[in-house]
Structure formats: structure tokens, C-alpha cells
Amino acid sequence: MKKIVIWIVMQFLYRGMKVLYKNDTRIKNELDGWNSNKIICLKVLHGPSINIEYTYGKGLKKTNKEADILIVFKSINSAFLVFIGMQSVKQAYLEHRFYLKGDIYESMRFVRCVDLVETYLFPRFMTKRILNHSEKKYKPTLLIYMKSIFTF
């Protein structure tokens, strides 16, 4: 059951980031700071994974290519806490719940984007607990959800 929930959240994270790349300049600016064709992989040991490729000016797409940045959660339980918003990515990193392969500076761009996507997709009471700052929403949450679900 936890694997299914993690997979669903991964899909919404990807879709939300893809939609917000076009609708929130903060995400566009973060990702445009990467080199073109940067590939990041989110993976859970013995669980789901997703490879996301960024292309400058075009945004994000799923891919099967080898990742430049690899974020691997060490267990289903560790990933579950992060993906359902019970624990922040930063806290999970401090507790060694995942490991990172690749450029840490480049991966922080991705984490900042994840924080922004969580601002839109999670209710305020959850984001207050997992984010140490409050981000402004430039588009209504319902609009982002609708675009994430129906524009693919």
C-alpha cells in the first residue's frame, strides 16, 4: 500500500512541477539555472522510482536515461514519511534516510522546487510543519491540481 501511495505522490510531484514550470517563475528560474538535459532520479529501494529530464526552455519530461542526480530513499517507510508530508526532505537528509549521488548544489535547486510544489499541493497545516518558511501561491491550488491531472 505504501509503495502505491509513494508512486502516486511521485506522479503528482512530477506533474505539479511540470505545470508550475509554466505558471510560477520561481520554479522556472530554479530549473533554468541547471544545464540543459539535466536528469534527476527519485528512487526508493525496493520501491517506485521516477527519472525526470529537464531541457532548458522546454521544461520537464519523464525519461529512462541515466541520471545525473540520484536521490535514493533507504526504505519504504522513510520515503513514505517524506512523500505524505509527515517529514521534510531536509529532515530526512539530516536523519540519513536517503543518499544523494551527484552535485549537491544542483540537487538543492530540485529540493527548492519540491518545496514550492508542496506549497501548492499540500494543505497549509502540512506545509507549516515541513517547510521552515511560507511561500506565496501565485495560482490557485485547484487550478494547479486540475492542470496536473488533465493536461497530459
Domain boundaries, given as residue ranges, for the chain: 2-147
Which pLDDT value is given to residue 42?
Answer: 94
Helical spans, DSSP H, in the chain: 2-23, 25-32, 76-83, 89-94, 104-121, 124-130, 141-150
Q: How far apart are the first and last CA of the chain?
A: 25
pLDDT tens-place string over residues 94-112: 899 999 999 888 888 888 8
pLDDT tens-place string over residues 37-60: 899 999 999 999 999 999 888 889
CATH number belonging to the domain at 2-147, selected among 3.30.1050.10, 3.40.605.10, 1.20.120.1690, 3.90.1070.10: 3.30.1050.10
pLDDT > 70 fraction of the chain, expressed in percent and rounded: 88
Which pLDDT value is given to residue 71?
Answer: 95
69-73 sheet: strands from edge to edge: 59-62, 49-55, 38-44, 69-73, 98-101
